[in-house]
């Protein structure tokens, strides 16, 4: 399969502000999660070669719903609301967090989580909570260490080692990739792992 062409056919399906608006729980989904401003939307755009498929913003918390992107009849990518929203009312935060939690716990077609971390600031409290939850739920995880173009090679490797070392404490293997949307670093490796998680061989 030509994975670049497969991901490039991604189309926006729609957004869900609450669980009642989710598409049918069938097929396979891989969801993207991460702290606001971690580069989550930019990563989705880079993987799909679509400049504005997922909305990006310099204002953290722009993704205020669960957004679905159709790859083909059976497979979807999902952009989850960023956590750690900086300028959002507490009531809105609680509503988003509830919706996010319910989606992660109830969605039967969810096959894996792509956890996006800024390589300069990985393993925040939220990141570690998400990793622990995925392990307890036996959900596969791919960590994308984004914005690696901001660091030199030795600094990148130091951060990669830090995250890999942290992940050794978990029973299930966690894939960790150095990634840059602007420099196109890690794209093919990420596409390959996501395709495997979707069940595409």
Q: Give the right CATH number for 3-198 from 1.20.1110.10, 3.30.420.40, 3.40.50.300, 3.40.640.10.
A: 3.40.50.300
Give residue-wise pLDDT tens across range 146-193: 999 999 999 999 999 999 999 999 999 999 999 999 999 999 999 999
Count CA atoms closer than 13 A to 45's CA, side-chain side: 17
What residue segments make up the domains of the chain, in order of their start?
3-198
Which is nearest to 105 in space by CA: 64, 76, 133?
133
Which is nearest to 48 in space by CA: 31, 71, 29?
71
Report the b/e string of 124-144 with b at 16+ CB within 10 A: bebbeebbeebbeeebbbbbb
pLDDT at residue 59 greater than cutoff 50: no
- At 141 the pLDDT is 97
Confidence of residue 58 (pLDDT cuts 50, 70, 90): very low
Confidence of residue 197 (pLDDT cuts 50, 70, 90): very high
Residue 146 near residue 43 (C-beta atoms within 8 A): yes
Residue 80 DSSP code? P
Query: For tokens 């984004």, what's the residue?
Result: 146
């Amino acid at each position: 399969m030509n994975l670049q062409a497969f991901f490039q056919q991604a189309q926006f399906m729609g957004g869900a502000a609450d669980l009642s608006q989710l598409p049918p729980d069938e097929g396979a989904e891989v969801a993207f999660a991460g702290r606001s401003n971690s580069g989550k939307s930019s990563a989705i755009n880079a993987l799909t070669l679509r400049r504005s498929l997922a909305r990006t913003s310099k204002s953290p918390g722009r993704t205020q719903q669960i957004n679905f992107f159709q790859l083909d009849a059976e497979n979807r990518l999902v952009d989850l609301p960023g956590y750690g929203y900086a300028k959002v009312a507490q009531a809105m935060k609680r509503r988003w967090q509830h919706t996010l939690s319910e989606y992660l716990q109830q969605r039967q077609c969810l096959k894996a989580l792509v956890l996006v971390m800024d390589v300069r600031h990985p393993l925040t409290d939220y990141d570690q909570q998400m990793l622990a939850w995925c392990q307890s739920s036996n959900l596969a995880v791919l960590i994308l260490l984004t914005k690696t173009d901001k660091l030199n090679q030795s600094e990148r490797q130091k951060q990669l080692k830090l995250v890999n070392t942290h992940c050794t404490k978990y029973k299930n293997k966690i894939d960790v990739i150095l990634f840059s949307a602007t420099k196109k670093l890690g794209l093919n490796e990420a596409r390959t792992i996501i395709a495997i998680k979707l069940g595409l061989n």
